[in-house]
A and B are shown apart, each in its own frame.
Chain A
Amino acid sequence: MKLLNLLSWPYVRKHKLRTLLTLAGIVLGVAVFTGMHTANLTMQSAFQRTVDRIAGKAQLQVSAGETGFPEDVLERVQSLREVSAAAPVIEAALATPQGTLLVLGVDMTGDSSLREYNLEGDDEDVIDDPLIFLAQPDSMIVSKQFAARSGLGRGSKLALKTMGGQKTFIVRGVMKATGLATVFGGNLAIMDIYAAQAVFGRGRLFDRIDVGLSEGVSVREGAAKLQALLGPGFQVEQPQSRGAHFESMARGLTVSINLASLFALLIGVFIIYNSFSIAITQRRGEIGVLRALGASRGQVRGLFLLESVVLGVAGSLLGVAAGLALARGVVPGLAATLQDVFGHAVSASDITISPPLAAFSVFIGVMASLVGGYIPARSAASVDPVKALQKGRNQVLSEGENRWRRRAALICIALSAALIGFGDANAYFYPGYLSGIASLILLSPSMAMWLARALRPVLKTVWPVEGALAADSLIQAPRRTSATVTALMLSLALAVGFAGVSRGIYDSLIEWMRHTLNPDLYVSPSRSITAKTFRFPASMAGELRSLEGVEEVQPVRNARVMIGGEPVMAVSLDIGAIARRVRVKPVEGDRDEMVRLASEGQGVIISDNLSLMRGIHRGDILEIPSPRGLLKLPVLGSSVDYSDQQGSFLIDSKLFQRYWGDDTANLFRIHVKTGYSREKVRQRILKKWSGSHEIFVYTNEGIRDYILNLTGQWFGLTYIQLAVALIVAILGIVNTLTVSITDRRRELGVLQAVGGLRNQVRRTIWLEAVSIGVVGLVMGAGAGLVMIYFNLHMLHRDLGGLRLDFTVPYAFMAAMTPVVILCSFISALWPAESAVRASLVESLEYE
């Protein structure tokens, strides 16, 4: 501690900027980790909180995936002796100027046995007149918060978009801002469930039944009895299980957050490593004196490790604070993305701060700092007091050191190849992945050196003096350069890796859309095609068919069902009719046979990603829970289908209607007659239903753009992390250049003393920075290609079951080149100015 005070503290005070830059490396790494995980956690806990508060006293919930189920199920549930209360529920999310409003359709004649509606005022009446509330379908109860935001009170009118177009509701009650009313950030409204069925086009279906159990009946016993009564077509679960389903849906997001966080931290490690290596180089005289005075190697090593711990703690604490701020910024976008991609409305008015996550973030920040500081600390301990005053020696990486790294890298490459080649299990793949990344890191000093040497003649040809000096600086001080280059390489590899994957996904999506999304128009009841709030009645298909210019109408009903405990998208359509228009080459199975049998209801066609993720193949029996019982259907084959990240299956609409009792539609695919204007037909549809229905008519291009935008929105979250990773790497360049200038103060002084112009000095530093950028770019591009390979495998096996082609993101790489070079150049501006403004006398006296 004394040494820390005597030696480290004065150094920190003298090199405030560098300390700050080092700190920034940790701060940003930890901030990305904390921020993205907090945002993810916030979404999950907001969803769970909503579920819990809505569930009220319900101990169990009965559902049939997202499909809903016929009303008669309620009577069956209520008839069970073990059930003390069973209340049907419909949930819907409506867009309002005050944000998304969660509308809960409940049966007020008995719902209060499960939920408490604390109404405004002392009157215990839930509503002015419960009979009027039930008798009038325009009745609504709103939360106090929503009422305040919208300027509503009892008796106020509230205009909302419904299946039947814009409708005016009457506020017949205002709930106190506690308990249930706090759900969804207070944007909650309650209406009668039977009115909700009509308003949201749900037919005679309920979304779920909340169940309270009789006294003395355990949850396990109640669930078993209900499951036995209802059969395997229903899920009987505790409310908290819905959070797990949501989590499983957003798994892809969690994995990408973990990956980007890991890289951000890894990049941070290199920044710390770089800073400490530089500090040790600069303080080797000090270390030599310390050693000469009798300090042991262990004491010196301990001092530097302690420094890294102190820095790690400070940086991690700041990182956690910055991460929480980042989470606050990210959460609204994340909520919108989850709503758009999965059709699940989640409202998180504030972030969820998890003390264990914060503690873990500090822990990994400190560990990253320790890991980054370990090698420099070890090399500080090995400083020979005699050689301590010899300058420049420690900057050189010995050939032996490099050789050892190259050998280790080769071993890692071999190990990686062996592991990946050995088996397909995660136990082989992920260690293989890590070995591959380790080999890149180990090879980076050598590669940086080779590339710097290769750059030297080019630089020298263009700028004989400055170019040669800049290149020499990199070549002669590899320890200073290599960590920065590695950090840059890693951040660029991450970016290229993601870009490659996103390019692959875009290309595959475009190809899939080209084959399958070929109708001229799409009619949707919501702006978002993934939203499940509204559904069209079956009768609308006939009305659409009767419109002039409409050749064919194909209704589509999709909803997630639970297969093997995980949600899978059921896509119900007239398979025969679709197959006449869509010609997709199957991945497994014979197309004609698949179509024939599926349209006869003798099987299902599964998506390729479902096949890959669950290991389901042609000939297997898919057990699909439905309200009418377990539907066991053979898998007729598989084809590429991007309907859902968790996988999907096509089922003929006749079979779906029979088993789910649901003939509503989420979407109509419309083919326009030849010779008719698509736009005119579109206008005709809009005109016919405007005023009576909420309706959105997309053109073919419109729907494709919508899907691509949705994909872009998904990747947008990743880009934030990439940007932070890049900022960390750029900080590394600034750090390196600052040190480089300090190290070469004398050299630069001499250059000026012998007549070198200030511009030449500036240019030397600029060139050095740009060279680091170029070297990092080349290495990052190479490493990025390796990343694409691994990412594609990860997507294929664990995330979306996507079978994507290896695509080099040339456009992205081309766009990144000037960005990185420009960033490198900008990062050199201040160090260059500081170098030319340094006193010549002081510079010549330096060292």
Chain B
Amino acid sequence: MNDHNALSRRAALVGLTLLAACSRPSEPGAAPSAAPSAKVSRSVTIKGSDTMVILGQRWAEAYGASHPGASVQITGGGSGTGIAALTNGATDVCQSSRPMKPEEKAKVKAARNADAIETPVALDALAVYVHASNPIASLTLAQLAKIYVGETKKWSDLGGSDAPIILYGRENNSGTYGYFKEHVLANKDFASAVQTLAGTAAVASAVGSDKAGIGYGGIAYLAGVRAVPVRKDDASTPVAPSRETALDGSYPLARSLFFYTAGAPTGEAASFVAWVKGPEGQKVIDDVGYFPVPKR
């Protein structure tokens, strides 16, 4: 009996270690991706940006309602994860909250023998969250950079309370992480003290319960936190993230959200992408809290 126990315990531990060691290397359910014989399969798999997961789900629901028989499956994991999945053929469409890098496009081309096709589908304003009680009036991009590389350590240095600044951010596979690092930190390293949380909602909720906290993420996640107006530099006026300021380009942290496909989408995926760009799909964006792509 005790030997059984020891055995099962050992098995459990081995299983645990196995889990820890191989947590996310493979893509389960990456069935040899939907055969391109369009008429047969009416399912579309979409994977990528955590910022876009909610948006994608709403699209999937609305699309499914008006296209009986079609099924659209959305999973998150981060833009990087989605791009990796597109490269190895595990997803039809990749959602990304940052543009693909040239070397990533080259990998898709090499692996799938088709160009990565970029489709801007929505506009997002990256908000800087603080606790609702934080009195700070605005932050310049330079101040934000200093905060996140760890040079500015106290709110009092910015005219706030005496508390130390508690930094929250995203995991390094997140498109939001990449965008912030590139556009705010000018590619400098984040401070070691940045707590990395899985998902924008987790960042917003952490800041919401931390009076000295600061975080960043999509504008759709403002419940319980305050979005600080951002200034491009000392000379410019503070701009709060909103639909107008994102659309007219005055908000410094506005970004496009993309779909990527390997080659032009075919079958149900093509129909879905076209629908998203159409009036019905763009209406959903409004409801979620992002902004439709400006018409050119």
- The yes or no verdict on A and B being binding partners is no
